[in-house]
Amino acid sequence: MPAGREPSPRVALRPGVVVAAALVCLSAPAFFVLLTPWLGWVLLAAGLAVAAGVDRAAVPGPEGTRPPSLLRDLSLIALGLLIVSAIPLAAELDDAAMVRFTLALGGAVAVPYLVSRFVYRDAAIRFPWRGGGRWTRFQWTWLVAVLVLGWLILPFYFITSGVYLNWPVVDTPALIGRLFVGVGAVGIWDELFFICTVFAALRRHLPTAAANVLQAVVFVSFLWELGYRAWGPVLTIPFALLQGWVFLRTRSLGYVVTVHLLFDAVVFAVLVHAHNPGVLDGWFLV
């Protein structure tokens, strides 16, 4: 097997694990779509309580070994969700908003990682930057496909649905620069949290397909509050699922970040185009 590639863990689909993980992940729509914090807290508490029961009922394996703690791994996801949900996610570009996003999103990755490594002393969260060596023909082809698909679809989505208005007007070089930095930074964070934290923790207890679906629920809910509304989930659900699948195929955080940044570069250009008619005329079909 190429360097950096790992076989997918063979994990049985156990009802208690599914219920616990689903409750924790369903707190994301409560926080970011329904904007109902108390419901998110209730779902998190219920999911962690079920996880504690699953851990108590766990049967030791050969030589007394025990499976990874479901409660610990789901608590890492819960920590990240609680930190992110502490701030409004409406896209803003003023100094206070950028500091707020930096602290909350950075904390949502850093705190679970530090707890996993130094409190739980395990390797639930890792950031495999390079993966399996040189990029393959598939990887280069997918990068080109992402650019082409983004160029074809994103202008139509943002402009015809009017969701570009969920982002502030960027009509000066300073604001355009802030938008560029903000879009790119959030794109990198998406992969650090949704793939390397949420997806990685879920895969220790669930089959890959189930873990991927649940991380997509969290991913798409966050994007909804961020501004990808109207029929945005028609785009963001496949994107979230594909990012999980591509990460498993490549085992490379660097690659999925590159894919995401290319996609977000098109998002950035479309937002500038939508807010400044005439500036990028001829670049897009809409």
Which residue in the block uniquely carries the two structure tokens 């990029």? 135
Task: Give the count of alpha carbons within 13 A of 279, CB side only.
Answer: 14
Q: What is the DSSP letter of 70?
A: H
Give the mean model confidence (pLDDT) for residues 254-268: 96
Task: Judge whether 75 and 45 are in contact, CB under 8 Å.
Answer: no
Task: Give the end-to-end CA distance of the chain in Å, rounded to a whole number.
Answer: 45
Measured CA to CA, the distance from residue 81 to residue 35 in angstroms comes to 13
Crossing angle, helix 95-114 and helix 173-190, to 10 degrees?
20
Task: Judge whether 218 and 191 are in contact, CB under 8 Å.
Answer: no
Rounded to the nearest integer, the mean pLDDT of the chain is 92
Burial label, 125 (beta-carbon count in 10 A; 0-12, 13-18, 19+)? buried
Q: Is residue 9 very low, low, confident or very high in pLDDT (cuts 50, 70, 90)?
A: low
Residues 6+ apart with CB under 8 A from 170: 93, 176, 178, 179, 271, 272, 275, 276
In a domain, 282, yes or no: no
In a domain, 1, yes or no: no
Convert the pLDDT of each residue in 69-128 to its tens digit.
999 999 999 999 999 999 999 999 999 999 999 999 999 999 999 999 999 999 899 998
Residues 6+ apart with CB under 8 A from 187: 257, 260, 261, 263, 264
Q: Is residue 285 very low, low, confident or very high in pLDDT (cuts 50, 70, 90)?
A: confident
Convert the pLDDT of each residue in 25-80 to its tens digit.
999 999 999 999 999 999 999 999 999 999 998 777 665 567 899 999 999 999 99
Looking at per-residue pLDDT, the higher value among 134 and 265 belongs to 265
Distances (CA, A) of 216 to 26, 99, 122, 209, 286: 11, 27, 24, 11, 29
Number of domains in the chain: 1
Convert the pLDDT of each residue in 127-181 to its tens digit.
988 776 788 999 999 999 999 999 999 999 999 999 999 999 999 999 999 999 9
- Domain residues for the domain of 215 are 15-275
**Three-point CA angle 231, 232, 236, nearest 5°:** 135
Give the mean model confidence (pLDDT) for residues 223-234: 96
Q: Which pTM value belongs to this model?
A: 0.92
Burial label, 18 (beta-carbon count in 10 A; 0-12, 13-18, 19+)? middle
In a domain, 2, yes or no: no
In a domain, 249, yes or no: yes
pLDDT of 234 higher than 50: yes
In a domain, 284, yes or no: no
Specify the DSSP element, H or E, that contains 204: none
